[in-house]
Amino acid sequence: MNNFLDNIPKIPLAPWVESAMDWLTSNFSAFFNSIQQFGKLLMNQVTDLLISIPAILLIVLVVILAFFITGKKFGLAAFSLIGLLFIYNQGLWTNLMETTTLVIFSSIISIIIGIPLGILMSKSTIAESIIKPILDFMQTMPGFVYLIPAVAFFGIGIVPGVFASVIFALPPTVRMTNLGIRQVPKELVEAADSYGSTARQKLFKVEIPLAKSTIMAGINQTVMLSLSMVVIASMIGAPGLGREVLTALQRTQVGNGFVAGLGLVIFAIIIDRLTQSFNKKKTL
């Protein structure tokens, strides 16, 4: 049996993939370079804008947002105040703003792509049968693998970091949008049809509003997955708190790594609670 298996020719998958990547990078290098340059310029401007805002002002704004979005409860507001002051005290404020830029762009791009794909899946069984295996592949593939095409297409820096984060974080928004729209009661859809609603009116006035809670849950997962890619993306030059963790790991600086990691945890908790509270507020 073993001899039979050994005699089977090896499928040259790796050379095929390398040839495809070489063809893409050689024929579309100008396209990828333009995206890299424009994306880097835009994200650097956003980071500079965030850094130019006085830290205390930004902290106060986050605390106020947390206070009102949670129904005037002090828990998240107090945690945000203490946590952000701690990050600033440790000299990681600039790194936090860089991480914020990465999360903002990767989340927005994932949402812009994910919601239309989810709607398409909910409306077409054929589209669902095609897209669903791709989403399975994207979610099961280790995050480090996404760094390879990111570097091949865009070099190193924040742009390939966002590219890898989008691939990693996209599936939840697609899946939850599809699920939310499919779970809309058929009676309501039929009622909309009976009143002569067009497909567009039915989608935007009935299905999406009723599926908003589920869609927002998917968006929350997408944002958190984008944040989880911060450390991995730092391996290809993405700036932020992840780079501090990676540097500490490379230099065996346990203290610095713990502080940077704690900063990521604080930021993740704030983002998670804010998005969850926003969803609850909108669905009450």
Q: How far apart are the first and last CA of the chain?
A: 63
pLDDT at 281: 52
Give the least confident one: 53-67, 234-248, 267-281: 267-281
pLDDT at 59: 94
Tokens representing 57?
A: 């002002």
Measured CA to CA, the distance from residue 61 to residue 152 in angstroms comes to 39
Give the torsion sign (CA, 110, 164, 43, 265): positive
Average pLDDT over all residues of the chain: 87
At 3, the pLDDT band (50, 70, 90 cuts) reads low
Span 246-283, pLDDT tens digits = 888 888 888 988 999 999 999 999 998 888 887 765 54
pLDDT at 130: 92
Span 161-207, pLDDT tens digits = 898 889 889 999 999 999 999 998 888 888 887 877 788 888 888 88
Measured CA to CA, the distance from residue 37 to residue 52 in angstroms comes to 22
Give the torsion sign (CA, 123, 125, 126, 131): positive
Span 212-224, pLDDT tens digits = 989 999 999 999 9
| pLDDT surpassing 80 at residue 2 | no
pLDDT at 232: 85
Domains, the chain: 36-283 (1.10.3720.10)
Over residues 104-133, the mean pLDDT reads: 92
The DSSP string of the chain is: -HHHHHTSPPP-HHHHHHHHHHHHHHHSHHHHHHHHHHHHHHHHHHHHHHHHS-HHHHHHHHHHHHHHHTTS-HHHHHHHHHHHHHHHHTT-HHHHHHHHHHHHHHHHHHHHHHHHHHHHHHH-HHHHHHHHHHHHHHHHS-GGGGHHHHHHHH-SSHHHHHHHHHHHHHHHHHHHHHHHHHTS-HHHHHHHHHTT--HHHHIIIIIHHHHHHHHHHHHHHHHHHHHHTHHHHGGGT--SHHHHHHHHHHTT-HHHHHHHHHHHHHHHHHHHHHHHHHHHHHH-
pLDDT at 4: 67
Tokens representing 117?
A: 């794909």
Instruction: Give the list of residues 6+ apart from residue 127 with CB closer than 8 angstroms, or none.
Output: 120, 121
| pLDDT surpassing 70 at residue 149 | yes
pLDDT at 284: 43
pLDDT at 5: 65
Tell me the pTM.
Answer: 0.86
Over residues 150-161, the mean pLDDT reads: 85
pLDDT at 55: 93
